[in-house]
Structure 1
């Protein structure tokens, strides 16, 4: 029998509130900094209340960027990051779910070996194979292009593994019933497996969107044209200014704007995301 201990509930809530404060305080300070002028934070004093320059700062970074650091307008970088993240999400999930379907439901020689070869690539992230990957992308003429930004990041052993594990839990009776009804492999995949995989796809979509959104090293290597800069690259350029002090109010405005799309995706898909992570019975 579970004992009712009010003091334990109070302690638990205090710990949770403290954790929220620790996580939210840097975000709050970034927002406050984005509403002040360029000189307040250079004086060594951190204001705790919003300033009068909110619309001015956000309008400047969205439409003008920072010419002193070579950062283009933020709208263009936000669009590039969004497009890059969406292509990575669609590409990774499409390739992974088809690969897992083939490995689980088709009988072909060395299929187990094929799965383990895919799985072993988890030990070879982009940072490890970055030089040969860059060489291939450069030889194919994909520098300064959306294809160069996204195609090398599309393959995902993690997603393939998760879909494979889920497909192994699907009862064989479903496949037999579909076969009796005259459904072929594609119809079985489209009408049965895809609807059953909805929560898994949603959970992976959130994770992969954030993965694509925060990419920095790879876009830094394959893009030299400001037209293809991503938001993370832009923030770095805004914070690194030669022979002058960074305009921290504009940098913090860019940081706050960069947080909005991932937060929106997480909130919008929160129910499916949690369900896809904790659900065990399909």
Structure 2
């Protein structure tokens, strides 16, 4: 019998509301700052309620008219760069990880597990650790200020390979035998059976990798010197350090607000598949 304890129910709800408020407060302040004039954001105390300049600031920020005096590109161009970079990283990581996990699980070749552990060990070598040799290789290949330079060094993923390997190991061997009896080759088995069975896992991983690619800061900062190739996350820092002028907080807040939109949209659009992909234990 579950005891009815109103005090504990009220206390738990208050704690949850406090947690939501702590997470939502920075987003609310960003929205409020994006709706005021620049002069109001320099006054104290900072406003806590929206102003009437939201759409004016949105137009100036998105098309670049409010970025005069800075060396950054219009926000629509930076959002396009960030979106393309995030999509290329997400799709590239998923494609390579699916193929590598497929080879490790279903093909017998010498040192198969050795190669798997070599892939797994790369978890200890993120791009920040190997950034100097990676930058030198990219520069020697002439991929500076290019989408290939932004994405290719970040595509390999030991985490995704390990995840898909574990998924493939849960698939019964009878499916492989049935596919062989029906005359299906390895790639037919991979495309018609493994990919559909891994759909939710692919969706969950896509959400994680998209946000990972969208939030990249250090690598795009090093690899791009052309303003037209800059990403929106890098531009926020550049706006804060605009030379010989005080930061335009209303524009900075609007850029930060726009930078939140694509990841939020991806999470909301794929929420159901994301949860299923993280909670499924069998096929």
TM-score band w.r.t. shorter chain: over 0.9
What is residue 263 of structure 2 aligned with on the other side?
A: 262
CA distance in structure 1 between the partners assigned to 2:280 and 2:9 by the alignment: 27
Are residue 19 (structure 1) and residue 19 (structure 2) matched? yes
Show CA shifts across 1:49-92 (max 9, x none): 11121111111111115232312110000000000000001100
- Distance in 2 between residues matched to 1:218 and 1:44, nearest whole Å: 36
CA distance in 2, matches of 1:141, 1:233: 22
Return the alpha-carbon distance in structure 2 between the equivalents of residues 48 and 155 of structure 1. Answer: 44
- Rounded Cα–Cα distance in structure 1 between residues aligned with 2:5 and 2:274: 32
Equivalent residues of 2:72, 2:228 under 8 A apart: no
Report the more deviating stretch, 258-267 or 41-50.
41-50
- How many residue pairs end up in the alignment? 282
Report deviation, 1:242. Answer: 2.0
After superposition, give the CA deviation of every residue in 1:209-268 in whole Å (9 maximum; x if it has no partner): 000000011011111111111001111111112222100000000000110000000000
Q: Secondary structure at the match of 1:147?
A: helix
Please name the residue that 2:7 is paired with.
7
1:92 and 1:244 map into 2 onto residues whose CA distance is: 41
Structure 1 residues 181 and 5: alpha-carbon distance in aligned structure 2, compared to 1, 3 A threshold: farther
Task: Give the equivalent residue in structure 1 for 2:47.
Answer: 47
Q: Provide the C-alpha distance between the structure 1 equivalents of 2:275 and 2:9, rounded to a whole number of angstroms.
A: 24
TM-score by length of 2: 0.97
In 2, the alpha carbon distance for the partners of 1:106 and 1:199 equals 24
Residues 92-141 of structure 1, C-alpha deviations (whole Å, 9 max, x = no match): 00000100000000000001000000000000000000000000000000
Gapped regions of structure 1 (runs ≥ 5)? none
Please tell me whether the aligned partners of residues 38 and 249 of structure 1 are also in contact (alpha carbons under 8 angstroms).
Answer: yes
Give 1:145 shift: 0.4
CA distance in 1, matches of 2:274, 2:228: 33
Equivalence for 1:178 = 179
**CA deviation after TM superposition for structure 1 residue 207, in Å:** 0.2
Unaligned runs of 5+ in 2: none
